[in-house]
Structure formats: C-alpha cells, structure tokens
C-alpha cells in the first residue's frame, strides 16, 4: 500500500519540479544560443572566403568593380566555358586536395 503524501511533501515536490523545469529551460536556451553562434561562425567564414576571392579578382581586374552584377556574372560565365581556364582550375583543385591529404 502506498503512503499518501502530505501537503508539505507535495509542495516541496512541486517546488523541486519547477526548479528542474527552469534548469531545463535554461539548458535549452544555452543550446539555442550555441546553435546561433555556430551558424554565425559559418556565415562569417563564408563571407571571409568570398571577400578573399573578390579581392583576388579585383587585384587582376580592378575595373570589374564598375560593372553591374549581371555583367560580372557574364564575364565569369564566359571564362568558365573556356576549356583552358577550366583545366587551370581543375589542376589547382587537384593539387590543393593532394597537398591537404584529400588524395
């Protein structure tokens, strides 16, 4: 037969459960903040890479900054259709992968 809990015992149990619920809520909040932080870090890395690529392009063709976005994309699209340009890219990517253990 189970013993019936007194009002004080039930109140103490309720208080403990509320405390645990609050702890779990804080834990969820911390995890969500961590997720946001990691996502922002990925976005910052991508932005850094894009800025480096843009800087490299501007160092060779500084006047490209005066072109519209559409004109810039047209140039890169045409460059991507030149077999020799693709060969240079593929060779550089293969060398990078080899040097970094990607085989």
Task: Map tokens 């077999």 to a residue.
Answer: 83
Query: Do 50 and 71 share a domain, yes or no?
Result: no
Residue whose pair of structure tokens reads 């403990």 in the numeric block = 16
> Are residues 72 and 51 part of one domain?
no
Distance CA 99, CA 95 (A): 6
As for how many domains the chain has, the answer is: 2
Q: What confidence score (pLDDT) does residue 4 get?
A: 87
Same domain, 50 and 91: no
Do 55 and 78 belong together in one domain? no
Chain CA centroid to CA 68, Å: 28
Domain extent at residue 28: 1-61
Per-position pLDDT tens, the chain of length 103 = 578 889 999 999 999 999 999 999 999 999 999 999 999 999 999 999 999 999 999 999 999 999 999 999 999 999 999 999 999 999 999 999 999 987 6
- Residue 65 C-alpha from the chain's centroid: 27
Based on the fold, state whether residues 20 and 55 are members of the same structural domain: yes
pLDDT at 5: 85
User: How is residue 63 written in tokens?
Assistant: 């006047």
Q: Are residues 47 and 18 in the same domain?
A: yes
Same domain, 56 and 77: no
pTM of the predicted protein model? 0.58
Asked whether the beta carbons of 64 and 75 are under 8 A apart, the reply is yes
């Amino acid at each position: 037969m189970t013993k019936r809990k007194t009002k004080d015992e039930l109140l103490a149990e309720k208080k403990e459960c509320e405390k645990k619920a609050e702890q779990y809520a804080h834990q969820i909040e911390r995890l969500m903040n961590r997720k946001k932080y990691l996502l922002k870090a990925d976005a910052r890395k991508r932005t850094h890479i894009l800025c480096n690529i843009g800087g490299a392009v501007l160092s060779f063709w500084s006047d490209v900054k005066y072109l519209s976005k559409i004109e810039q994309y047209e140039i890169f699209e045409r460059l991507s259709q030149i077999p020799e340009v693709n060969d240079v890219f593929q060779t550089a990517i293969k060398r990078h992968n080899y040097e970094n253990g990607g085989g």
